[in-house]
Each structure stands twice: as structure tokens, then as C-alpha cells.
Structure 1
Amino acid sequence: MEPIKVQSEGGLNVTLTIRLLMHGKEVGSIIGKKGETVKKMREDSGARINISEGNCPERIVTITGPTDAIFKAFAMIAYKFEEDIINSMSNSPATSKPPVTLRLVVPASQCGSLIGKGGSKIKEMRESTGAQVQVAGDMLPNSTERAVTISGAPEAIIQCVKQICVVMLESPPKGATIPYRPKPASTPVIFSGGQAYTIQGQYAIPHPDQLSKLHQLAMQQTPFTPLGQTTPAFPGLDASNQASTHELTIPNDLIGCIIGRQGTKINEIRQMSGAQIKIANAMEGSSERQITITGTPANISLAQYLINAR
């Protein structure tokens, strides 16, 4: 990475991507009616503003562009949030105006530089901008990123974002970053056989926190059903070690990533889940393939989870 050229105006101008974590309500405010607000922000700032899909309570807003475009976009977001706060206060008795808060998502490998030795950098940022800055102690679920929360008046936030950008450019992330992806809205959680599932589309997916427990469960259950010997499933009997069969349909174009090269992935899934998995041959004129999973409910749900994760 070549050294950053500081231009004569004292500004940096390199392309950068900043990720923000927002609640649905905040995202709605940024998008505006029929997408007008975000469209105006894109046009006025010159930055690319992308909003993650999905019915998640949290969404990721990605802002990419030359640094000056990013600062403009941030200013517009900060002022929009301030406007929302003022509007929400007009009908509330509170007199002191709460600060605007933005949450950045930063690769954990860059957080050390943001904090500085003994917290020196973050302290300097707080003092010079007047914004509150906090770096989360833990990484966001299933990622190598941390949340950095900035709150204060919009002007303070903009100054603070500028300083954070400088630090991020001076110390790029080390190694691969696993980006944080918000989980879908906690759609109803179903309990079955002591296992929690969330529904996504037409699939029941083991609750992620349950996955490790599920794995232990699957491991403990293997003694009951010697491999290859499947006890006939009795309808109505939900004994957790009873073998049963489950069918999934997978679009043809996705089957490759489930099977893997010469079947490596599917074998891995078989091994991890302990379930038997059969993939039907492609049917003439059909764009989907049938997958049959046989094993205990725990094995099946683990296999399903791994297939869906692929």
C-alpha cells in the first residue's frame, strides 16, 4: 500500500469503504419515501450508498467513494438523524436533545490502531472532536469485525469519522476479514425435540446459538443407532434418536457448491452431521434437485443447517 498523499487542501482523497450498522427504523429514514432520500444523498455526495437486503432488524449500510464524498454522505446521514431526533422530540416532554449515534463496523485487526497504545488514540479523538467514541470489546457474531459507536452533535461526528478514516487508511486490515452479516429478524423460534429452529423461507434452521449444543447432541446420539442400521420411524413418536427422513429441494445452479469438487463438500456435511444424504439426479425439465437426508432429527437439522449455510 503506497503512502497516502495528503493534498494541499489538507484533505485525503483516496477511495475507501465504510460500513455502518443501522436499525430498520434508521434505514427507513435514510431511504426515505420511495427511496428519495438515499437517492438525493447519492447524488449530492457522489458516494455509493448500498443497503443490505433482508428483513433483518439490523442492516448494513455501505458507503464507498473518495474520502471527500464519504464525508459528505456521513454529514447528510448525521444531519438526517438529528432531524429525526428533533421531530421525535416535538411531541415529547424531554428538553435536552439526545446525541446522534452512528455505529461503524470495522475489521477487528484495525481496532487496535483506532484505540492506540493505552487508549491514547481514541482519547485524542474524543478530545479533539467532542464526540463520544467506543470500540466494542467483542467481535460481532460470526465475523471478525467490531462495532465502533460514535455519538455527539453531527459536526462532532463528521470530524470523528474523518479521523477514523485517516487511521483506517494508515493501518489497513491484516489478514482476511469475515464481514458481519446481520441475522434475519428473529422469525418465530420453534422448539422441537429440545432444539430451537428459526424459519427462513421454507426451511427450519437450527438457531445458531444452538448449533454447538446440537453438535454435542448429535455426537452423543450416535451410539443409539449404529450407522447403516436405521430404525423405522414411527409416526407420532418424537424420540430424539429415532431415524427419520427429510427432503429438500435445491436449485440446480446451487447444487455444485453443496457437492463440492468430486463430492468433497457433501462428504464433509455427511461427516459433520452424521446423516445420510442422497442427491437425486437432475430431472428432465426441472430446475431443482431433490436431496434426501436420513438420520436422527439432530443429524438432519445439522445437515440441513450446513447445506443452507453453503
Structure 2
Amino acid sequence: MENQIHFGDQIPQFCTDAQVAVMDSGVIEGGLNVTLTIRLLMHGKEVGSIIGKKGESVKKMREESGARINISEGNCPERIITLAGPTTAIFKAFSMIIEKLEEDISSSMTNSTATSKPPVTLRIVVPASQCGSLIGKGGCKIKEIRESTGAQVQVAGDMLPNSTERAITIAGTPQSIIECVKQICVVMLESPPKGVTIPYRPKPSGSPVIFAGGQSSSAAISPQLTKLHQLAMQQSPFPIAPSNQGFTGIDASAQTSSHEMTIPNDLIGCIIGRQGAKINEIRQMSGAQIKIANPVDGSTDRQVTITGSPASISLAEYLINARLSSEATGLAAN
């Protein structure tokens, strides 16, 4: 039986379309038995190359590296490859993946008229709350990583859809990418993520976004449950703006806007939580301002106003709908 770790069991901290958690540079270089998890975000064609015919390529990587390698299911344009295991095993597997991508580039050059060989490019996924540490004050940290490794590193300004993660794109020679990822791991470990991380899960192309937990067949138990599920399905994906501001890693959407939601009075409690704990948590995670209007005589609903950047509004709305969906699932189970 293959030794696999399933995406979602653990939220890693570094990503080439991946995530990794590491202790410090000494641990990485020394190869001590520290367990890491790396998540890589790759296009389907690249994933097919990693898997190989009848899975032979990925099987070889598992056997030779000793790392656990799991590939997310589904016919999605993008897939998540999760690497887990001791540091030495992780970076062995990581190196083999990069070598494979390098081979593919060389093969594609055979019949190409291009004169220069493109660099290997990878994306890793990182909790947005850690990106500030990775960028550093005035961009000093990311500049240091670029200069010391020779790799190009870009931190996306927007979060990946329906998640609190950002993609980091790394391009360069295989060795520069490996060194770059090691340095990113060190920063991630020194600055753990804040709050709860909602991991990015690629969606099949052209399919509607369905919120996990929101598709309970018991939704028809009561009108209240039906209403809950309708509300839970209203979340919109995060805006992925074309980042003209470059990959600053800072939420550059300085413009502030407002969005209003309507929530039934009898459901508002699950959003507010005991002594306001839940609503404060949503405010903190999203960075948005959230105001719940006082009850209006004769109305069965409450108005909720969310103010902030487009990304923070989308995240706040997503988290509120997640609470409603969770409540619906709980009621359906009773």
C-alpha cells in the first residue's frame, strides 16, 4: 500500500504550488529528522509528467526519496502535489520533480525555434498571513532571497480562490529553486501562520463552486435548514485581479468598498458567537470591518455590512457563509 498523506490532513507552510514547514537553516542543511510538508500547485500537463506512464515516474520518486507524495484528485486544470516526510526525503523528492520539469523543457526545445531555454517555474502555496514576513520590511527579505539564490521570486498580491493562501512563483535553475525554497521554509518556520488557514483546493474547470459541508441531503428537514443552505451557497470566489501592481505580496487594493448581506434573525447568533467571539475572529482573519444592524420591528432579517478591500470583503463573506453551512450541517445531524 502506498504511503501517502492526503491534502488537508495538515496545512504545510511552503509551496511551489507547495507548502513546507521547516525548523531552521541548520536543520535543513543538516538533514535532521524533522517532518515537513510541501504543497506544489501545478498544471495538469505537468502533473501527468510527474505521474508518468502507469504511475511509474511518481512511484520511482517515492521509492528513491522516501518521501510521501500525494496528488490531489479530479479533472482540474490545476492539481496539488503534497510532499511529506523528513527534510532530506522532502528535498530529494523536490529535486526529482524539478529535474523532471527541466527534462520536459529540454524535450520541448528539440522541435522549437526558440533560441533561449526558458527557466523551470514552480508555484508554492503559502498562508497569506506569512507573506509579510517573507517579503520583509520594504521588500528587504524577498530581495535578499532573490540575490542569494539567483532565483526569481514573486508573491501574488491576491489570495487563491476560496482560501487564505497565496501562490509564490519561483523561476530559475533547478539548484537556485531548491535553495530558494529552503530559505522560504526557514522564514515560514520563524513566523508561523496567524489564525486558521483555509487551504486552496483547485476546482474542476467550468463547474460551480460547491462549499464543502453545504451539500447535506437533509437540507429539506426544515425551511430554516433550506434557508441556511441557500445562504451557504452564496459565497463568491475571491477576486483575482490582474496584478498590475506587480507581485508585491501586499494587499495593494487600497480602494475600500462595502458589501451587504441579509441573514435571518434566528441565525445571527451563530455568526456572532458567545460574547462576540466568532464575529471578532472573522474580522481578524479577513481584515474587514463587519457591522450587524440592530433588529428592525416587523423584519425577520438582519442587515450585515462588510467594509474593506475587495479581497477582505470576499474572505469575510466566505467565512460567514462557512459558519452558516457548519450550522446547517449540525442541525441536519440532530
TM over 0.5: yes
Residues 255-296 of structure 1 deviation map (CA, whole Å, 9 limit, x = unaligned): 35x479x9864441266789xxxxxxxxxxxxxxxxxxxxxx
Structure 1 residue aligned with 2:152:
132
C-alpha displacement of 1:10:
3.9
Residues 155-205 of structure 1 deviation map (CA, whole Å, 9 limit, x = unaligned): 10011111111111221211111111112022xxxxxxxxxxx4xxxxxx4
Q: Which consecutive residues of structure 2, in runs of 5 or more, have no partner in the other structure?
A: 1-21, 235-261, 263-324, 330-334
Q: Which consecutive residues of structure 1, in runs of 5 or more, have no partner in the other structure?
A: 187-197, 199-204, 209-249, 275-305
Identity in percent = 72
> 1:138 aligns to what SS in structure 2?
coil
Change (3 A) 1:177 1:83: same
Structure 1 residue aligned with 2:126:
106
- The answer to whether residue 289 in structure 2 is matched with residue 269 in structure 1 is no
Residues 10-48 of structure 1 deviation map (CA, whole Å, 9 limit, x = unaligned): 445421211111001000000000001111111111111
- Rounded Cα–Cα distance in structure 2 between residues aligned with 1:68 and 1:171: 22
Is contact 1:100-1:151 (8 Å) kept? yes
Structure 2 residue aligned with 1:255:
217
Is contact 1:99-1:153 (8 Å) kept? yes
> 1:174 aligns to what SS in structure 2?
coil
Structure 2 residue aligned with 1:78:
98
Residues 41-76 of structure 1 deviation map (CA, whole Å, 9 limit, x = unaligned): 111111111111111111111111112211111111
Structure with more of its chain in strand, by fraction: 1
> 1:120 aligns to what SS in structure 2?
helix
- Rounded Cα–Cα distance in structure 2 between residues aligned with 1:76 and 1:36: 13
Change (3 A) 1:64 1:263: farther
Residues 138-164 of structure 1 deviation map (CA, whole Å, 9 limit, x = unaligned): 000111000000000001001111111
> 2:81 aligns to what SS in structure 1?
strand
Change (3 A) 1:36 1:148: same
Change (3 A) 1:183 1:137: same
For the aligned residue pairs, the C-alpha RMSD in angstroms reads: 3.1
Structure 1 residue aligned with 2:291:
none
Q: For the pair shown, which has the larger CA radius of gyration, 1 or 2?
A: 1
Ranked by relative contact order (alpha carbons within 8 Å, sequence separation 6 or more), the top structure is 2
TM (norm. structure 2) is 0.57
Structure 1 residue aligned with 2:48:
28
Change (3 A) 1:125 1:271: closer
Runs of 4+ aligned residues of structure 1 deviating over 2 Å after TM superposition are 3-13, 262-267, 269-274
Number of residue pairs the alignment of both structures matches = 213
- Rounded Cα–Cα distance in structure 2 between residues aligned with 1:30 and 1:8: 24
TM (norm. structure 1) is 0.62
Amino acid at match of 1:171: S
